[in-house]
Amino acid sequence: MIYNNLKVEEGDKVLVLTVNREKSMNAINSATMEELRHFFGEYAPKRKDVHGIIVTGAGSKAFIAGADIKEFLEMDAETGRRMAKKGQDVFFFIERSAVPVIAAVNGFALGAGCELAMACHLRIAGEHARFGQPEVNLGLIPGYGGTQRLVQLIGKTKAMELLLTGDMIDAAEAHRLGLVNHVVPSGEEVAKSGELLKKIGSKGPLAVANVIKAVNAFFQHNEDGFDTELRAFGASTGTGDFREGAQAFIEKRPPAFKGK
């Protein structure tokens, strides 16, 4: 698939995905959502040489400043439900990625942008980043998982306030609430994300994938997170990566994981 709204760059075993609609504050329209679906649902899972993905926005003003509201005007209840379902499915691809996905938030992360960032496993915010779910200002609610993931990340009380008021919070407040992992000087978001992925990339890739799977299970109503952890732990003990990691620990040397 040829991407018109996304830009993909390759680093050292890392893909940097940029939402490339700077003139529209990187707002997600239907075409961009389809490209995101292809990238996270088809392209990235096939890249077995990649140990992490960084998502950011073009320019310095916005990570993703929401969805393209103009496309909403012709919708009725059923077409709106289908659009939201597609967005949720795409963001589940991100959340369930076997390799870590980090949002490098370089500006406004509002509406769909905040929802996409929350679907990522980690979030690095530039000092001028802003977060919010302002849908109530339009007579809407979040449709791509915002009402669920915001509660998961910062708790019901504060999430309810932000969802009901549509207020924005700055990077420092987002960090205090636990919405972001680190705040860095503006322009250093991707570099910090790459630094984290380099550290994670030195660990056992099967173990990393199983951590993501087990943590996600905690929030799934139809899964027992403890059972998922048991099964993932058991599977891990039978891998060559575990034997290599244990032997390297005993021999006091860095492990050479092979993802097997």
Select which of 35, 95, 135, 189 is catalytic: 135
**Is residue 221's pLDDT more than 90?**
no
User: 34 an active-site residue?
Assistant: no
Q: What is the mean pLDDT of residues 141-151?
A: 97
Tally Cβ neighbours within 10 Å of residue 202. 11
Return the residue matching tokens 């969805």. 67
Residue 135 annotated to the active site = yes
- Overall average pLDDT of the 197-224 stretch: 93
The Cα–Cα gap between 121 and 57 comes to: 17
Q: What is the percent of the chain with per-residue pLDDT over 70, rounded to a whole number?
A: 100
Task: Look up residue 245 and give its two tokens.
Answer: 């990691």
Domain locations in the chain?
6-201, 205-251
Region for residue 67 given its phi and psi (left: phi exceeds 0; alpha: psi -120 to 50; beta: otherwise)? beta
Cα-to-chain-centroid distance, residue 154? 16
pLDDT greater at residue 121 or residue 231:
121
What average pLDDT score do residues 217-222 get?
A: 86
Question: Higher-confidence residue: 95 or 256?
Answer: 95
Mean pLDDT of 200-212: 95
Grade residue 212 by pLDDT with cuts at 50, 70 and 90. very high
- Mean pLDDT calculated for residue range 227-254: 90
- Cα 230 to Cα 88, 98, 214, 217, 246: the distances in Å are 28, 18, 9, 12, 19
Nearest to 125 by CA among 143, 108, 149: 108
**pLDDT, position 207:** 95
User: For residues 123 and 129, what is the distance between their CA atoms, to the nearest angstrom?
Assistant: 11
Catalytic position from the list 74, 115, 189, 223: 115
What integer is the mean pLDDT of 109-116? 98
pLDDT of residue 219: 87
Please compute the mean of the pLDDT values over residues 71-89 and round it to a whole number: 91
Band the pLDDT of 69: cuts 50, 70, 90: confident
72 has pLDDT over 90: no
Dihedral over Cα of 70, 75, 77, 81: its sign: negative
The CATH number of the domain covering residues in 6-201: 3.90.226.10
Confidence check: pLDDT of 117 > 90: yes
Q: Produce one character per residue of 107-132: b if its CB has 16 or more CB atoms within 10 Å, e if not.
A: bbbbbbbbbbbbbbbbbbbbebbbbb
Q: Reply yes or no on whether the pLDDT at 109 is more than 90.
A: yes
Q: What is the pLDDT of residue 85?
A: 96
pLDDT of 173 over the 90 cut: yes
- Please check the confidence at residue 147 and state whether its pLDDT lies above 90: yes
